[in-house]
Structure 1
Amino acid sequence: MAIHAYTVSDFRENLKAITDDVIDYNETVIITRPKKRNVVMISEAEYNSWQETLYLLESDANRNALHESLEQAKNQSTKVLTPEEWEKQKQQFEEER
């Protein structure tokens, strides 16, 4: 992932090419402004990904479950669930919320 910085003038002159690069190559763009009032541009897909991550890390239960899953993967002690087991666990999780 590349990060590029542009002045407002350069950004205006190259708007289409810069926004295409943000979307097509997952680039991050910093638009520099006076008095360090800069703006950061990312694609909508990247933004949505960040929002989902923040949502998942919002609750203690989710953070603990994610941490436990990472530990299981690291220790190679994962378990494959049947669709029925998955539904049962999903229902239990939703009831705890």
Structure 2
Amino acid sequence: MLAVNYTNLRDNMKSYMDKVTDDYETMIVTRKDNKNVVMLSEESYNNLMENVYVMGNKSNYDWLMESKAQLESGKISTHNLTGVDMDE
């Protein structure tokens, strides 16, 4: 996680935004009176919101944890996929 003050961010906006998006960094922009702001990429934000949704629904969470336990214990099966004719 990076921390930068507002003035430095303003003077170097492009390079900091590139770092956030290209390197998946989260940046804290420090401001007076501790009114700080967090900057993250849209991709990171969307991932965070998806995790909040999935983990916030108990049935989704339980299903995921059960699936994870099955995978870790080797209770898996494989299936052959059939081809699809593109003209159909």
How high is the TM-score relative to the length of structure 2?
A: 0.83
Q: Deviations over 1:12-65 (max 9, x none)?
A: 000000001111111111100122211111000000001111111121110110
- Residue 26 of structure 2 corresponds to residue 28 of structure 1: yes
Provide the aligned C-alpha RMSD in A: 1.5
The CA deviation at 1:82 is 7.0
Any unmatched runs of 5+ in structure 1? Answer: 84-97
Counterpart residue number, 1:10: 8
User: How high is the sequence identity, in percent, across the aligned residues?
Assistant: 33
Runs of 4+ in 1 over 6 A off after TM superposition: none
Query: Which secondary structure state, in structure 2, belongs to the residue aligned with residue 79 of structure 1?
Result: coil
Q: How many residues align?
A: 81
Are 1:55 and 2:53 counterparts?
yes
> Which residue identity is paired with 2:25?
E
Gaps of 5+ in 2: 82-88
Q: Give the one of 26, 40, 43 matched to 1:42.
A: 40
